Amino acid sequence: MSIAGDLIRGHTDAIILARLLRGDSYGYEINKVISTLSSGRFELKEATLYTAFKRLEETGCITSYWGSSGAGARRRYYAITQTGKQTCQKLLEEWQETKEIMDKLLEVEE
């Protein structure tokens, strides 16, 4: 079974920010980590990922810079900002609340 993107829609920003809390990273790597952590059951599509980066940068949650210039294939690294940390905190709380509510709404028995 695989998890459709719509099931996680609205939480992509949270995932990315939570990842960046652990340190700067770049698109390809984040995608790999997500795929690995979910045992391949969930995979952010590239288009989705880069859309999210753009959105997060526009809202001041992350900043970016080119790294590995000259060495390997060029990489654009992303770093979380102070605003991003606050947003991330808020999104994590929202996820906890979403879980609670959903569990209550999906209860089948009395």
Q: Is 28 in the site for DNA (CB under 7 A)?
A: yes
SS3 readout for 30-95: HHHHHHHHCCCCCCCCHHHHHHHHHHHHHCCCEEEEEECCCCCCCEEEEEECHHHHHHHHHHHHHH
Would you count residue 38 as binding DNA (CB under 7 A)? no
Query: Is residue 49 within the footprint of a second copy (CB under 8 A)?
Result: no
Choosing from 1, 47, 105, 106, the residue that interacts with DNA (CB under 7 A) is 47
Q: Show Cβ contacts of residue 85 under 8 Å, excluding neighbours closer than 6 positions.
A: 17, 21
Residue 1 is a binding residue for DNA (CB under 7 A): no
Binding site for a second copy (CB under 8 A): 1, 3-4, 6-11, 14-15, 18-19, 21-22, 34, 37-38, 41-42, 92-95, 97-99, 101-102, 104-108
